A and B are shown apart, each in its own frame.
Chain A
Amino acid sequence: MTSEARGAVAVVGVGHTDYASDWRRAREASGTGASFHDGYGYGARALAVALRDAGLAKEDIDGLAVGAPLTSERMGEVLGLDVAWSTSGDVAHAIQEAISAITVGYASCIALVFGTSQKTSGYKYGGPSGVGTARHLAYTFFEPWGLTSQGALYALLTRRYMELFGLTDRAVGAVVVGQRAFAGMNDFAVMNHPLSIDDYLASPFVVEPLRRLDYTIVNDGGVALIVTAHDRATALVGRRAVGIDAFASYDLNSGGTSLEPRLLDFYHSGHQAVAERLYHASGYGPQDIDVVGVYDSFSCHVPVALAGFGFCRDEDVNEFLLSGATAPGGRVPVNTAGGHLSESYLQGWNHQIELVRQLRGEAGPRQVDGARRGLYVSDVAGRVRGITLSNEGTAL
């Protein structure tokens, strides 16, 4: 991001469905194919909450960024929303595009909306009818050897990382237990009963070394954010405006199917490319960040991303996690609403809501004291993304 764009955009409203109720309903409907809503319905529900949160009317929205695989055409139809600008993609793409659109002037107030009925629809991640195969050949090419599923690919990454850097089961478990402890302070979390390290170690392997508890919770639900120019956001909601300070991305495509960037690099060259540009554009670095959201379809994302983004070295990540650094009261609280592992799998969208809550000081019993700066990172299949947010007002 150029210095002109830095801090120019802020989140003015957030909304989401009640993930715990979504989960109960989805389980009851499991196998019947009858979801409470489709993705559009969940998204609409979340946007209604976000509009109330921002004190805005639907008519104030002139841009629409929709979470894939939803389309902006149908989402806009469901919402009765005609817009000057639209896009669709994953959450990082939606935010990146929204920053650009507001900075350039294509739109002034953008709704970012995601919804999914992946649980009741019975989406499979891996196996003979897995999701995501059009984008990543690695999800299907190795079927003749019985290797599919993102979980298995991350199990391979975890094993090698354990062998090279001494990461232990207990340290991976500390991520899971820590996020669950946060979820215990979040009424919306799907899984909020306490978990001990022994519970974790007793969890059955899915693809060893990853256990059931290392895997995300597939759920239905919806999330929405509303972003606008920072000065307008401040005029609308005062100090509850949360600035998006910087965005950076880097795609590691070379050798992706044969898992070269995943296994030989742990995506670190992408992490470092993103971290360097993100921290430079933000004017702060890992030592200044109070709360972190990591895209955690699997627990192993957390140690690898923290090392990649400069919070500790690969060799030290085991001790770092065992010390409780990412858990409540830790030095670098990670996924403070429970993340995908314990709150809900809304594909990184729910992480944005939690960072905004923390930076508004509205996270209730799990509030990180004095949180001023937040970081979101994702590195799914080598597509590394970083976003910094703060409550410090525009830095211009």
Chain B
Amino acid sequence: MPEVVRPGPAIGRDDWGLWRSVADRRLRLQRCGRCSRWWYPPGPCCPSCLSFEWSWTLVSGEGLVVSWATFHRPYFPEIETPHTIVVGQALEGPLLPTDFAYDQLRLKVGLKVTLEYYEARDRRTDRPFTQFRWRPSEHS
């Protein structure tokens, strides 16, 4: 498999837990300890009840397709086109836009998808990093 090169993540102060969990290939998102809400991308407090009592919590890795789009015009020199983006809604609630390495003709709203992980190299720093994306679930 050819090496995947990507713009690496710009890791903000709230994002470390997310990218550490991705490096472990087990995605964790913030979940509120008071009202149980999940959210993404990371932020300082629960956007429902403003609680700061949250924890990085393992997600099921399962979701449903909300939408998709395919880049035909290249925006990044390292990303070949056509390049498809899928937005999947995690069973926990948050929407996670990711790239998609499978036939886009399989996509439909509500298709069951599962998270997978892959290794990429950051074009800017040349460092390897782990990345997550949706793939069709086994039996969908």
Which residue numbers of A lie inside 8 Å of B, CB to CB?
126-128, 137, 140-149, 152, 155-160, 163-164, 204-210, 254-255, 257-260, 263-264
Within the complex, the shortest CB–CB distance from A147 to chain B, in Å, comes to: 5
4 shortest interchain CB distances as A-B pairs? A155-B69, A160-B67, A208-B70, A205-B72
Cβ-defined contact, B7 with A143, below 8 A: yes
Bound: A143/B47 CA distance, A = 24
CB-CB under 8 A from B131, the residues of chain A are 144-145
Q: Tell which of B39, B41, B85 touches A152, judged by Cβ atoms closer than 8 Å.
A: B85
What are the residues of chain A within 8 A of B20 when measuring CB–CB? none
In the bound complex, do residue B6 and residue A127 qualify as a contact, i.e. CB atoms below 8 Å apart?
A: no
Q: How far apart sit A289 and B77, CA to CA, in the bound complex (Å)?
A: 47
| Among candidates B9, B85, B95, residue contacting A146 with C-beta atoms closer than 8 Å | B85
Contacts of B39 in A (CB 8 A): 255
Can you report 19 A-B residue pairs in the complex whose CB atoms are below 8 A from each other? A143-B9, A144-B8, A146-B6, A146-B7, A147-B85, A156-B87, A160-B66, A163-B67, A163-B108, A164-B109, A206-B73, A207-B70, A207-B72, A207-B73, A208-B82, A209-B69, A254-B47, A258-B97, A259-B95
CB of B98 closer than 8 Å to a CB of A: yes
The answer on a CB contact under 8 Å between B95 and A258 is yes
Taking a contact as CB atoms under 8 Å apart, the answer to whether B87 and A152 are in contact is: no
Within 8 A of A (CB), among B62-88: 66-73, 75-76, 79, 82-83, 85, 87
Decide yes or no: A157 and B67 within 8 Å by CB, A144-B7, A145-B98, A146-B6 being known contacts. yes
CA distance A204 to B97 in the complex (A): 24
B6 partner, pick from A144, A152, A163, beta carbons under 8 A: A144
B69:A159 contact, CB within 8 angstroms: yes
Contact A128 B95 (CB under 8 A): no
List, in ascending order, chain B residues with CB within 8 A of A259's CB. Answer: 87, 95, 97
